Chain A
Amino acid sequence: MATYSTNEFRSGMKVMLDGDPCNILENEFVKPGKGQAFNRVKMRNLMNGRVWERTFKSGESIEAADVIDLDMEYLYTDGEFWHFMKTDDSYEQVAAGASAVADCQNWLKEQDIYQVTLWNNDPIAVTPPNFVELEVTDTDPGLKGDTANGGTKPATLSTGATIKGVPLFINIGDVLRVDTRTGEYVSRAKT
């Protein structure tokens, strides 16, 4: 089993802590001049997204986590699993459970590319691109002559997500560019 020593710790490194894979965010070296050295490490638990802070004695080792991020194409859901396919022409597929897609479900569009995080080859998280383009399936009728300076309204998108801050001139069938980090309307997509 591969291990990493504290002096190899870098942000972005994937390690095992309390049985869960974690991503190292920050690593700070702490040492009183005449005392022992420590590494105070901030890491994100990749299973639940929580940020943990742990202090290790410098020189301690922890197990590496077999975690990789892959770009994969979203295919479809059967209601229980969400199926993704590798983009390396291998046509290899993985099935992600509800917890892996939980943060991403609002932004999943078939044939788009997502980042799938695999731990021991199992998908544990799916990350959408920063911007996605989705069709409006429901919104109040657009107002003629309205400009981008007018008021806003909510709109429901093809994924079922409802976003706020949509300009009044947007109609059903329009395709919108949405920032997945904030869940906010960015612009009408050029078609």
Chain B
Amino acid sequence: MRVSIFFVTLLIVAAPPALASSTSTGISREFNPAISANSLIIYSSGLLSEESHEEVEEEHVHHTGHGAGLFIQESELQLSANVDPYTRATLTLAMHGSSGFELEEGYLRTQRLPAQIGLRLGQFYWEFGKHNSFHTHQYPFVERPHAWDELLGEHGLSGIALELSWLSPLPWYAELSGTAFPLTHTIYGEEAEIPENVWGQSARLRQLFEVSDRSTLDIGGTWLAGDVAHLHDDEIEKGDRVLLGVDLTWKWTGPGANARQMEIQGEWIRRSDSLPDEDIVHDGWYLSARAKVTRRVWLSARYDAFRPEAVEEGHSHFQESGTVTASMAFVPSEFQAWRLDLMRRTLGEENFNGLRLQANFTIGSHPAHRY
């Protein structure tokens, strides 16, 4: 009896490797998610005067996570697939420089809800205007508008959230979406401890009109509300934060293969913090124009401005700024682009010039970008 128990036990212990081997080879690769990787290599340089060298170095660090020189700006790994008949999942891991991968986006999106309703749950860039939803490799210029860093935080508005959206039955494209999110440091404040179970919310209406066979006008408006904390004289003041945004994009595409394209885009954001003793209002905007002038070459220009409200000394580190960027991109194929950006920023009363040369390449099966 003991012997038979021993043999049965041996059989059970010995069986798993054989079974595991058989099972693993039986899983089809057809079910693997679409995988893509993207990397941005950048050469960054400020054309500096000696006295402003330090400040501009800080600017570089602020925007790119690195100082001047040649480095990897960001790498991204994206996986996406249908989970089952009801949902689709997307997972995006991003590495800034060589600091290690972190979860940039990871969410589930429904596919079968009735009445043109969509639900998204997870971590993602919230629907706030146009630029906020772009991944770094989608930026039309090497850097985000300076005002966006100041108004929305270095990584933009993103985080764990629940989004409900509805595609209206109107004869033109009109989509209404609402997002609820637990507060994060981006909206609440680096200095203060994030309160538990306090949620912010946003709503966005996006409409797109086909102006002609070749051109579209895309108009959006976004509202976001949450709590905020400010550090003032070593004391934390808590209040309400409201963000308003308006965006407008006109696009034109010519006929034929490798068609000429033009795009004019503008966005405006107003951030209003209501604190017990005062209201602090900042706003910023950009206007950009882009044109595909030959099969492989894009020329672009942008002006962006940040206008902080004057506040008492020591309360705010913000400075009024305006940045002009001129850009030329060489796009040998849809999987590779080289971009040269020349920038001139007026920060307070000083001017800074900068240069960015970026190589952007993608391998694997990368999904199409939104219009």
Physical interaction between A and B:
no
Residues of B within 8 A of A (CB): none
Chain A contact residues, CB within 8 Å of chain B? none
